[in-house]
Structure 1
């Protein structure tokens, strides 16, 4: 998993699929985490043209293939398993090299696909939290592992 974490945080840019304006949703919390760590992040939400996070509106794109230069992104996924499976196929076709599937965002089929098709797939058992690998819990340690510097807002 160490190699996957390094690969994920070596990307120059990040995207959050499932980004939301609703502060009770994990898509909101994870998008905010990237912003709070001064990381270049793009929101993916096919149903909204913007999301409001940390009192600011952020433009969204409709899917991984709509990102500018998708191979330069790592993708955090916070969508229901059925949506995740289709999202992963689009991300693979777009050339995204690394994905982080948040707890609850995948089923066995999605997890197997991610592990087989991406250079790096972070998901499943492990990490410091009881639910499995989570950016909110494991992100800072993973960034340090990758030698990525950040300044928390």
Structure 2
């Protein structure tokens, strides 16, 4: 089932899977766009004014990227959120991984109770889409829309 962007951004938390410490990579740009909009309160798109979302990142080699707590696995990120009282079904995964890894990321999320996924352009795969379609209540944004465009992010920040 396809999700709407508004529904994705109504989650209490977003985990950026595939976050990167390199500012040139999309995993970093997506993290910065979400951070400036939902953590720093400086949205480029007025539609998200006054909206706050808890943000975590997943990268197996880093502990902090762009001042955002970074964990090695989706499971650990979901566990941190649960200790903060944020349920997995109130969490979205923004995925910036190679297509071959995306299905596994979605499988991890589904097994933990995450139900909303956004594959950034280049991360989607047919297998990932099938996984979401086969899971009750799960939704996926894929095949075009990008967080950077939706949030009006420009890489001069």
* Fold equivalence (TM over 0.5): yes
Q: What is aligned with 1:89?
A: 107
- In 1: Cα distance, 2:101 partner to 2:5 partner: 23
From 62, 73, 79, the counterpart of 1:48: 62
Q: CA deviation at 1:3?
A: 5.2
Q: What is aligned with 2:43?
A: none
- In 1: Cα distance, 2:107 partner to 2:23 partner: 28
Structural RMSD (CA): 2.2
Q: CA deviation at 1:109?
A: 1.4
Q: CA deviation at 1:47?
A: 2.2
**Normalised TM-score (structure 1):** 0.75
- In 2: Cα distance, 1:17 partner to 1:2 partner: 19
Question: Quick check: 1:105 aligned with 2:123?
Answer: yes
- In 2: Cα distance, 1:93 partner to 1:80 partner: 20
SS at match of 1:30: helix
The answer to whether the 8 A contact 1:103-1:123 is kept is: yes
The equivalences for 1:9-88 within 5 A come to 9-38=9-38, 39-51=53-65, 53=66, 57-66=67-76, 67=78, 68-69=81-82, 70-88=88-106
The answer to whether the 8 A contact 1:7-1:120 is kept is: no
From 149, 152, 155, the counterpart of 1:137: 149
From 136, 140, 144, the counterpart of 1:121: 140
Number of aligned residue pairs: 130
Name structure 2 gaps, 5 residues minimum. 39-52, 83-87
**Normalised TM-score (structure 2):** 0.73
Q: CA deviation at 1:5?
A: 2.3
Q: CA deviation at 1:30?
A: 0.2
Q: CA deviation at 1:139?
A: 4.1
SS at match of 1:24: coil
Q: CA deviation at 1:82?
A: 1.5
The answer to whether the 8 A contact 2:14-2:93 is kept is: yes
